[in-house]
Structure 1
Amino acid sequence: MIKFFLQSICVIFLLTGSLSKVFSQNQPITKSDILQTIDNKQYYIHTVQAKETAYAISRAYGISYTQLTEINPGIENGLSIGQTLKIPYTESISKPIEQGQTSTASKEVFSVNNQEFIIHIVEQGQTVYSIARLYTITPKQILEANPDFVQNLPVGSKLLIPKTIENKETEQLPKQNTIVEAEKNNSKQEAYTGESTNEKPSQKIEESKEIASKTQQIPQQILQKKSIRIVFMLPFMLDINSKEHTETEIINKQIFIHPTTYPFIEYYEGVLLAVDSLRKKGVAVQLEVFDSSKDSSDIQHILSKINPINLDLIIGPVFPVAFSIAADFAKKHKIPIVSPLSNEDVAVKSNPYVIQVNSPQRYRYKEIAKFASQYNQSNVIFVYNSIDLEQSQIQECKRIFTQYYADSIKKYGIKLKEVYFPKLGLDGVEKAMSTSDKNIIIVFSRNQAFINNLVTKLFQFSKKYDIHLVGLPMWEKYDNLELDFLFALQFQFVSNGYVDYSNTEVKSFIELYRTIYSTEPSKYSFQGYDQMLYFSEVISNSAASSMQNITATNKTGLHDTYNFVREQSNSGVVNTSVQTIFYTKTFEKLYK
């Protein structure tokens, strides 16, 4: 996933002023001539040298990365200098494609059952995706026509390429370029368009892949606007990545990528899949992508390069101060601006052009209060482990209880209690519980060690008390936290969105994502996809103001659900939709 993204998206930021320096640092792979027979099969024995990566080695020998890891298990976690690897011997191993060398589409055609196919001979370094782009078809079409080559593409093997109207007319069609502007370190880089210029062009951003028609798409309706222009400002942190490692290391090993980069790469990969879904609907999306940071001067510089005329939407930045600056720009030019991933309602109260996608915390607290207030004699216990990090959340949630459910509290005799764990401990928690009432224990801690300990103890208490534990979505991923305990405690959490992996459309998306990026989609991948489709749909169908259309357009995506409201006449719009996920004692996981 990271390899593909950085090759097709992020390398654009690394090239200006340092291209020759970056490639001069690449470590060439010297192929071994040592052959050994192991279990009646011949293998090259390759000794790992400094700066070599598994991916680069697989390319040098003309095999897939998957083949190499299957034969040498454990190398996906990293290589050691001097380590020996088995490389399957094949006579088709050939010289790798040199830098700048391109592939050409085959002209050889034959027919099977009235279906015409082009015969393509796989070249060194080619992938299903690169071949699909070469013939203007989808990766899925190649995989369906060649089921034996799902796992790898041996160099020299022949693939059947379904002949379509698109690849028959490819040479006659004008090439469509995605426009990209990248800002970093006070220098502007424009996407390469194929024209000769005096400026050093950056690498053209690869246009995204076409998602299968059965995946989540915009409704079957005529779109009024056929071209959309959107600016993205996301923190890819490419200056840090490029300083720490060479370009080859960055694109070939996920562990070399700065960890804070991952969510934004995954988000943008989802965006790219949505772009092709939109193109299939006849909507051309013009993206302008900027690598943004927390630095206010950096954001100001980026904004100075953006042409506000005919700009439909701005997505990002993600950091609060940076977003406030960009929001002022958007307000001045009357451009809708999206806060895509933050729960903080930055600038939304005073800026009618701000769109907050993630529901503010108060809507989650309101959902928790609604749940707890429906029971007679419920015993609500707020447990917190840190005054600095959690007490303010507890107080805000209690305020929601008393503001919206005062009548229920009085009617049902609901009790609200607090337990400061470092002072009162487990004894304090148990003393606050009731053997006759429903004990709703609300915890907002992100401390994994604390949560593991608390859940284990509460599980022991659940044999004596009726406990409903309310917590955070991230707990599901905590190491050593027993899911059985969460089911026994009737665990639930409220989130701005959730992926139902039993959903057919979700399964289709995951299948395509794996094919394209060779990894699993994260929640950010789903969010990028959902948000790009939703906002493009709203803009495309807006005869009037797109901001007015947003409040009238509700939608459920693969992860997100959208129900935007304008809380005050001069404020922006916020997404009020939240989902509650319940664990039951019968080991079911329910969504509401």
Structure 2
Amino acid sequence: MKKTIFLFTYIFIIFSVLSINAQTDTSIINSNSKVIIDGKEYYIHKVEKKQTLYAISKLYNVSQKTITDNNLNVKENIGIGQFLKIPIIKNQKTLSDNTDENDKFLSHIIKKGETIYSLSKIYNVKIEEIYKLNPQSKNYITIGDTIVVPKIFEIFEPEINKKEDSYIYHKVEKKQTLYAISKLYDIKIKKIKKANPELYERELQEGELIKIKKSASKTEAETIDSNNNFVLHKIEKKQTLYAISKLYDVKVRQIKKANPELKNNSIQEGQIIKIPIKNNIKLQASVVEVDTIIKPIVLPAIDTTIHPCNDNFNYTNQVFNVALMLPFYTNINDTLGVSDSLIQLRKNKIYSKSNIFIEFYQGILLSVEKLKEQNVSINLYVYDTQNDTMQIKNILQNNELKEMDLIIGPVYSSNLQIVSKFSKENHISIVSPLSLKDTFLINNPYAFQISPTISAQIKYTSEYLNSFSAKNFLVIHDGKNINTNLLSDFKTKLFNTISKSKHEDYNYTEIYYYQKEDSLVHANLSPTSKNIIIIPSENRAFVSDIVAKLNAFSRNYDITLFGRPNWVRFDNIQPENFHNLNAQIFTNSYIDYKKKDVKDFVKKFRSSFKTEPSKFSFQAFDISYYFISALKQYGKDFQYCLQSFDIPLLETEFYFERKDNNSSFENKALYIITYDKNYDVVITSSLPKKTEQK
């Protein structure tokens, strides 16, 4: 079940009541019913949905004035369910009674995909004739409208494959625009409108058929019929020209030469293109049918795992669907109802675990708002996962999920595994926003891990330490919360990265800090060289104690302390101790409140939510803004372009790596936050180095 949280809005249910003032007995509801009033015969007609006064007048072959004169409550507008008296004129047949071939008019109800142009072809009449009888159709027609059509010749159904001398038919796909169609056929928009005059007055409709003027060159089917060195290929979801070129073992430029309409590598799902094939290419026996071409298509047995970056994507008129999956625990929070705003909710007592996810959601909302200011259209779908695997499975039953361009969340590993499998099956990028575990990354080329893994932290920590001229390395632990494999891995990487010149005279010592005994630490400090002290612990009590002891030693020794990201949240450590020890903290996020964009975000957040943004709000903004901006820049296959994608964010950087085309993406970006002797906190390094990222 989809849970949507509405902000700053109350839901009001407004009931509209339509009053029907019939001048006759309301039990007569059939238009074929006749009554006699004051000696005159009338039909009683009940107005149906989308019927117009004009259409009804043609249906009964009477003038509009005749209807309004006999129904004093009617001028021009009529309502659904309203009863009208239609005077019966002797020896005159209505369209509802008429079955003779010589009848003048027919009544047609608009179906999905039909246009005035397609009706003109069905009934073999001119568009102008239909406009003349139905003036309102010049502006728009919608499904269910009743259109009056002159019956001149025998009705026929147009065939999509039937060729006119100078036109072909195109069926409008979902969300397709005139601009997209013009690029598809390499034709100007004004020429499409000229061939389809109704498009001057209204927008395209999904499923409708429009005429496209053929180019001077031979048509696709004619070229293939006369040349056996081509096969037809129907573009599949997410395919690129590069992937297709690998599929058939041809060059991209050869495909583009065979299809002059392909500019800027722009292709669309369902499009049919010609593929030049080599005489000696080995083809599979499998046949793929194409909707409008009879010739069978055979596919060569070539790997298609390589995908290039499409840096010519145009996001104009694109709508991006983004799913956000977070445990809001609406099943626990009685106050978390759709009639409440988040401002109100924060004043009420809510389930404590909901807080950070509400803060995260607020950051998402502000990023969406900023993107919409850039004319990016976004549909944001919000789901409450409740940290329940059954809830996740129920959510994934929604058909709308398969239409997503991006999934952010869920946050818990058990839920993440389930959604990751779904994302892989449906080729949807999924982002793990908070989890440090990387198990969901296995064998999913659409998965993104935001928080750098421990192995990434170890790798770049050891490389960064190599930049110091230090000769004395101390690792201090309490023997309780230490991961021996982790420590061994760190030592190995450190030894491998330290230059050979240091191997002769540097010291590496591991100290078990037993019962707060600091004499062993003191004994291993060097009075003549820089001491690099690494404490791989997140235990608040242990860290605060050893930092206090090291602070006392800092008066006589040159010490640089390296710590974990969560240390900055330890309120039992005096900040001056960090500065005295020249503390260096590895983290993937840092909020510099002096930056203008950070100040603007805080101001906007306060205005919108009447509270201060948390680190989760900043993080959510960066994640959603980064990935939706990537969608805007490169389309749904943005993952192949991230090496060159770099935009300014509020509190983090992203540098994604993966081993091969079938593996997932891990964020390797880290900051080094330094507490210097001047009592400033600054970013002294960003890892990996920019030169490494290219």
Tell me whether the two structures share a fold, i.e. TM-score over 0.5.
yes
Q: Give the conservation status (yes or no) of the 8 Å contact 2:626–2:647.
A: yes
> Aligned letter for 1:477?
R
Residue of structure 1 in register with 2:7 after alignment: 8
Distance 1:428 1:367, change over 3 A: same
Distance 1:259 1:416, change over 3 A: farther
Q: CA deviation at 1:457?
A: 1.1
Q: Is the aligned partner of 1:471 residue 2:563?
A: yes
Aligned with residue 294 of structure 1, among 387, 390, 400 = 387
Aligned with residue 543 of structure 2, among 428, 451, 458 = 451
Residue of structure 2 in register with 1:266 after alignment: 359
Residue of structure 1 in register with 2:318 after alignment: 226
Aligned with residue 613 of structure 2, among 521, 528, 546 = 521
Distance in 1 (alpha carbons) for counterparts of 2:461 and 2:500: 14
Distance in 2 (alpha carbons) for counterparts of 1:293 and 1:11: 24
Unaligned runs of 5+ in 1: 16-220
Distance in 2 (alpha carbons) for counterparts of 1:320 and 1:399: 29
Residue of structure 2 in register with 1:564 after alignment: 656
Residue of structure 2 in register with 1:193 after alignment: none
Distance 1:440 1:409, change over 3 A: farther
Matches within 5 A, 1:11-410: 223-224=315-316, 226-242=318-334, 251=344, 256-388=349-481, 390-403=483-496, 405-408=497-500, 410=502
What count of residue pairs does the alignment treat as equivalent? 380
Q: CA deviation at 1:271?
A: 0.6
> Aligned letter for 2:332?
I
Structure 1, residues 205-261: CA drift from partner, whole Å, max 9, x if none?
A: xxxxxxxxxxxxxxxx97446311011111112223329999989945558233322
Structure 1, residues 56-113: CA drift from partner, whole Å, max 9, x if none?
A: xxxxxxxxxxxxxxxxxxxxxxxxxxxxxxxxxxxxxxxxxxxxxxxxxxxxxxxxxx
Residue of structure 1 in register with 2:582 after alignment: 490
Q: Give the conservation status (yes or no) of the 8 Å contact 1:348–1:356.
A: yes
Q: Give the conservation status (yes or no) of the 8 Å contact 1:344–1:360.
A: yes
Q: CA deviation at 1:10?
A: 12
SS at match of 2:403: coil
Q: CA deviation at 1:339?
A: 0.7
Q: CA deviation at 1:423?
A: 5.5
Distance in 2 (alpha carbons) for counterparts of 1:10 and 1:428: 63
> Aligned letter for 1:463?
R
Q: Give the conservation status (yes or no) of the 8 Å contact 1:226–1:282.
A: no
Q: CA deviation at 1:368?
A: 2.0
Residue of structure 2 in register with 1:438 after alignment: 530
Q: CA deviation at 1:569?
A: 3.1
Residue of structure 1 in register with 2:602 after alignment: 510
SS at match of 1:264: helix
SS at match of 1:579: strand
Residue of structure 1 in register with 2:593 after alignment: 501
Distance in 2 (alpha carbons) for counterparts of 1:249 and 1:10: 6
SS at match of 2:511: strand
Distance 1:326 1:225, change over 3 A: farther
Distance in 2 (alpha carbons) for counterparts of 1:292 and 1:582: 38
Structure 1, residues 363-400: CA drift from partner, whole Å, max 9, x if none?
A: 22223212322234422222223534554543343233
Q: Give the conservation status (yes or no) of the 8 Å contact 1:327–1:347.
A: yes
Q: CA deviation at 1:288?
A: 1.2
Aligned with residue 634 of structure 2, among 536, 542, 550 = 542
Distance in 2 (alpha carbons) for counterparts of 1:580 and 1:553: 22
Structure 1, residues 189-208: CA drift from partner, whole Å, max 9, x if none?
A: xxxxxxxxxxxxxxxxxxxx
Distance 1:239 1:415, change over 3 A: farther
SS at match of 2:325: strand
Q: CA deviation at 1:307?
A: 2.8
Distance in 2 (alpha carbons) for counterparts of 1:361 and 1:501: 28
Distance 1:395 1:256, change over 3 A: farther
Unaligned runs of 5+ in 2: 13-312, 686-694
Distance 1:468 1:306, change over 3 A: farther
Q: CA deviation at 1:553?
A: 1.3
Structure 1, residues 318-362: CA drift from partner, whole Å, max 9, x if none?
A: 111211111011101111111112232232242111011222222
SS at match of 2:629: helix
Q: Between Structure 1 and Structure 2, which shows a larger proportion of helix residues?
A: 1
Residue of structure 1 in register with 2:507 after alignment: 415
Distance in 1 (alpha carbons) for counterparts of 2:316 and 2:6: 34
Q: Give the conservation status (yes or no) of the 8 Å contact 2:328–2:357.
A: yes
Q: Give the conservation status (yes or no) of the 8 Å contact 1:372–1:378.
A: no
User: RCO greater where, 1 or 2, for CA within 8 Å and sep 6 or more?
Assistant: 1
Structure 1, residues 474-525: CA drift from partner, whole Å, max 9, x if none?
A: 3223223211111000011111121111111111111111122122111211
Distance in 2 (alpha carbons) for counterparts of 1:545 and 1:245: 37
Distance 1:249 1:273, change over 3 A: closer
Distance 1:455 1:295, change over 3 A: same
Q: Give the conservation status (yes or no) of the 8 Å contact 2:335–2:345.
A: no
Distance 1:413 1:292, change over 3 A: farther
Distance in 2 (alpha carbons) for counterparts of 1:294 and 1:413: 53
Q: Give the conservation status (yes or no) of the 8 Å contact 1:268–1:525.
A: yes
> Aligned letter for 2:438?
D
Q: Is the aligned partner of 1:585 residue 2:677?
A: yes
TM-score after normalising by structure 1: 0.59
Q: CA deviation at 1:543?
A: 4.9
SS at match of 1:456: helix
Q: Give the conservation status (yes or no) of the 8 Å contact 2:452–2:667.
A: yes
Q: Give the conservation status (yes or no) of the 8 Å contact 1:236–1:292.
A: yes
Distance in 1 (alpha carbons) for counterparts of 2:541 and 2:328: 30
Distance in 1 (alpha carbons) for counterparts of 2:330 and 2:10: 8
> Aligned letter for 1:256?
K
> Aligned letter for 2:539?
N
Q: CA RMSD in A?
A: 3.1
Distance in 2 (alpha carbons) for counterparts of 1:376 and 1:340: 37
SS at match of 1:322: helix
SS at match of 2:428: coil
